[in-house]
Structure 1
Amino acid sequence: MIARITMVVTLSAMLAACNLRQLYAGGTTGVVARELGNVEIEPIAGKAGWLTRNALKDQLEAFEGQEAKYRLTVILDDKIAGFGVRSDDRITRERRTLRARYQLVRVTDSVVVLDATAGSDAGIDVVSSEFATVAAEDTALENLATRVANQIVTRLSLFARTEANAPPEP
């Protein structure tokens, strides 16, 4: 019993030593939430852009800020490629890929403070019904847009935490 207690105390000390901190500490009044609330999302072209922008807005709406300190620009690349081929040259499987290059620009001086990429892909079965295949492609796009938006918001959150802990510029 004493050995178990000693092990728990030791593991707790090791966990505290690794400098693990909550990203959204303070909830909607925390530093990260306040910074995320100051991000304005520019329109993104195309259906994939509309879906991605809505997914970003859904996630960032919880952090409503007073003013736009940052502008988020996103450029998407949406591709579908067939890769499962039968002996009669019919495609049986597709891969849909959604990649995003995004930049976070400080509004006051138009400096790019974050330039990064995000992306995800999904496999789609091509079936005899064209309607079912198109529906699967659309569902895949919706899921990919949500995943890419999640990646972007996570990266913005890490940036916001870093900015909040950075010393002020002279």
Structure 2
Amino acid sequence: MRLVAPLALAAGLLLSGCGMRPLYGGGPQGAVRQTLAAIEVAPIEGQNGWLVSNALRDRLVGADVGGAAARYRLQVALDDEIIGLGVRRNDTITRERRTLRARYQLVDLTSGGVLLDATAGSDAGIDVVSSEYATIAAEQSALERLAGIVADRIVARVALYAERQQAAE
């Protein structure tokens, strides 16, 4: 017990000098929040595109700092795939993996230049049961979860880009 307090103090002193700072530092006027508030999401095709674009808008609206005009466009192309993994002797599938991948570009609307070109993705396992309805519902539920995960990864990467751009200036 006597050793815990000095160790905690030493760890605190070491971490305070490491140069880490919050990504969303500066509050509503910070560079990251300003950049996220100035992004419009281009339409994305299909049901999976609708889910991802809504998830992106939900995350970017949270950064809204007073209705700033769009300076950037986020263009996203999705690849959604379901593959069967487990196969019984009678050739029925028992397990599936749904993979949602996104290639996205952050485009500057004034110059038309691509500022960020990256990918994000995630996958989910699905049990295939005897009820076709239950399997379809599980596939849909997995897609909804994956859309949120992919949107989170895209927004985090764009926020990191904005923070690095601010540090470079």
Identical amino acids, percent of aligned pairs: 54
Give the Cα–Cα distance (whole angstroms) in 1 for the partners of residues 5 and 148 of structure 2. 43
* Aligned equivalent of 1:127: 129
1:38 offset after TM fit, Å? Answer: 0.4
Show the 5 A alignment for 1:19-58: 19-58=19-58
- Residues 97 and 5 of structure 1, relative CA distance in 2, 3 Å threshold: same
What CA deviation, in whole Å up to 9, does each residue of 1:113-170 have, x standing for no partner?
A: 1000000000001111100000000000000000000000000110111112222xxx
DSSP 3-state at the match of 2:62: helix
What CA deviation, in whole Å up to 9, does each residue of 1:64-99 have, x standing for no partner?
A: 241111110000000000011011111000000000
- Structure 1: gaps spanning 5 or more residues: none
1:16 offset after TM fit, Å? Answer: 1.6
Give the Cα–Cα distance (whole angstroms) in 2 for the partners of residues 66 and 154 of structure 1. 20
Letter of the 2:128 partner, please give it.
Answer: V
1:54 offset after TM fit, Å? Answer: 0.2
Contact 1:28/1:62 (<8 A) preserved: no
- Aligned residues between the structures: 167
Contact 1:41/1:71 (<8 A) preserved: yes
Give the Cα–Cα distance (whole angstroms) in 2 for the partners of residues 136 and 4 of structure 1. 48
DSSP 3-state at the match of 1:72: strand
With structure 1 as the length reference, what TM-score do the two structures score?
A: 0.93
| Partner residue of 2:73 out of 71, 74, 84 | 71
DSSP 3-state at the match of 1:88: coil
Give the Cα–Cα distance (whole angstroms) in 1 for the partners of residues 127 and 162 of structure 2. 40
DSSP 3-state at the match of 1:63: coil
* Aligned equivalent of 2:86: 84
